Structure 1
Amino acid sequence: MPNNKNTLFEDIHKQYSPMVLQMCLGFVKGDRDIANDLSQEIFISIWSNLEKFKGESSYKTWIYRITVNTCLQYVKKDKKEKEMLSSSVENQPALVDSGKEEAQDNSRLYRAIGQLKEIDRLIIMMVLENQDYENISEVIGINAINVRVKIHRIKKRLETILKNDKND
């Protein structure tokens, strides 16, 4: 069994690590170091719970749920910690590679996504992963028609945030 578990985990990691990292980036507003740490934590959780997977959903759905729960726990913990810290820590400059325009655009997008409600962040990150409405509806727990409406509203909200960000 351990060899099968190792093989299965390697396959899961290879297939889903880009998706997990991208979702983490969305939750932490593009901070790659934190996203990498969260990704590692998620895959440790996947490894630890691999025997508990019951097959009631796809691995992808299961991994999405673990990713979302881990990221939400981090966001809540981080929010509490920031409230306790002095404002000087919060005013540290963001680490952005100013030499690359694409990196700046991605950073702006992730910061904008970070301003969305948690559920909206999850949905838009799944859209960026090219998930279809049925997959998104399965993970979120709402029907596909509502997913389509939510995505439209989220995109409008992101446009507004990015437009306002450019004006600042």
Structure 2
Amino acid sequence: FRRHQVKIHDLCYKMLRNYDDAKDLAQETFLKAYRKINKFAGRSKFSTWLYRIAVNNCLNFIKKQRPTEELFEEITSSGKDDPVQKYKSKKFREMIKRTVAKLPEVQRAVFTLRTLEDLSYQEVSEILRKPVSTIKVNHHLAVKNLRNYLRQKI
């Protein structure tokens, strides 16, 4: 639990952009893992299995309780208390967050896991239960979409 706690919470936060929701879903991830530990077959790393549970929890939460517009507004209004000297980097980070939030669900999940969590394509493939080729295509599309949007804004 302790070994994976921070990473799972960070993953949930990166997907949801809300500390309280991330905390709740990280906790729910560990509860589900505890209840379903007998279903862990050992075909992948334990951390991969745990990430899969966390990603599913986050995607289900987004679908059911967090409309995209509400998530977008929450992201754009966060971070107002940053010091003035961090203004430019803060604005850029917010622009990235807004753009990532606009990506289609699968692209957002792939980008978060591959780029922000620094997982391999194989690990992302196992977590999302999609072929590696699909993961690579979605990662490429996510980066392309982010690049196009940022070029328009900068």
TM above 0.5: yes
Q: Please provide the CA RMSD for this pair.
A: 3.0
Structure 2 residue runs without a partner (length 5+): none
What fraction of aligned residue pairs are identical, expressed as a percent?
28
Closer, same or farther in 2 for the Cα pair 1:91/1:51, shift >3 Å?
A: closer
> 1:37-89: per-residue Cα shift (whole Å, max 9, x none)?
22222222223333442323321221122111110121112246x99xxx9xx
Query: Alpha carbons of 1:41 and 1:141: their partners in 2 closer, same or farther (altered >3 Å)?
Result: closer
Q: Does 1:47 pair with 2:30?
A: no
In structure 2, the residue matched to 1:21 is 9
How many corresponding residue pairs? 147
Give SS of 1:46's match: helix
Q: Secondary structure at the match of 2:36?
A: helix
Could you tell me which amino acid in structure 2 is paired with residue 62 of structure 1? W
Alignment of 1:8-157 (within 5 A): 10=1, 13-14=2-3, 16-28=4-16, 30-79=17-66, 94-96=77-79, 97-99=81-83, 100-101=86-87, 102=89, 104-127=91-114, 128-157=116-145
Look at both structures and tell me which one has the larger radius of gyration over its CA atoms.
1
Q: Quote how far apart the aligned CAs of 1:109 are.
A: 2.6
Q: Which runs of 5+ in 1 are unaligned?
A: 1-9
Q: Deviations over 1:126-163 (max 9, x none)?
A: 11211112212222333334432321221011123344
Higher RCO (CA 8 Å, separation ≥ 6 residues): 1
Q: TM-score, normalised by structure 2?
A: 0.74
Question: TM-score, structure 1 length as denominator?
Answer: 0.69
Conserved in 1, the CA contact under 8 Å of 2:52 and 2:128?
Answer: no
Q: What is the distance in 1 between the residues matched to 2:13 and 2:91?
A: 14
Give the stretch that moved more between structures: 119-128 or 38-47.
38-47
